[in-house]
Amino acid sequence: MYPYGSSTFTSSNGTAMRAIVSDIIRYLLLALFVYTAASKMLTYPQFVVQLGLSPLLPNFFPSMGWIVPMVELVVAICLAVPALQTVGLVASWVLMLLFTLYVGAILTVANHVPCSCGGVIAELSWQQHLVFNLVFLALNTLVLVWHYRARLHPMSS
């Protein structure tokens, strides 16, 4: 089981606060992935067209239209299920890293490409999107570091 879940981590040396912060970050990641996946599926035709406009994905966009939201939902499920939270945290970190690298690549190779992200996130500029992704990647990294430190040193975490 995930060592920073609020029900499993109650030591008084700061770990209770880590448990709360970790849960908040996990729920934020879960909400982010559910929101973006649902938004992409609800606007599927527009999402696929926008993917097709990407200079980085021209040959892959038809299959990516279903793969991306499905992967986001699977990651969200993993973050929600206690037995899969570690897998969910690692998978969300990898996914956020890939999304962040994609945004960085778009910033270097394209003048104007519509964002294929869902909902209000699509309203961000590419620079704002990069910052947004980096913040979520940093928060995810923090929780993973705490998680693995607790596994390596269960008494001193």
Separation CA 147–CA 157 (nearest Å): 9
Q: Cβ(55)–Cβ(113) under 8 Å? A: yes
User: Domain range spanning residue 67?
Assistant: 15-152
Give how many domains the chain has, as a whole number.
Answer: 1
45 in a structural domain = yes
The tokens for 48 are 């696929």
3 in a structural domain = no
Q: What is the pLDDT of residue 156?
A: 54
Q: What is the mean pLDDT of each run of 10 residues along the chain (157 residues)?
A: 44 75 96 94 88 77 85 98 96 97 89 75 88 97 92 66
Distance from the first to the final alpha carbon of the chain: 16
DSSP line for 19-44: HHHHHHHHHHHHHHHHHHHHHHHHTH
8 in a structural domain = no
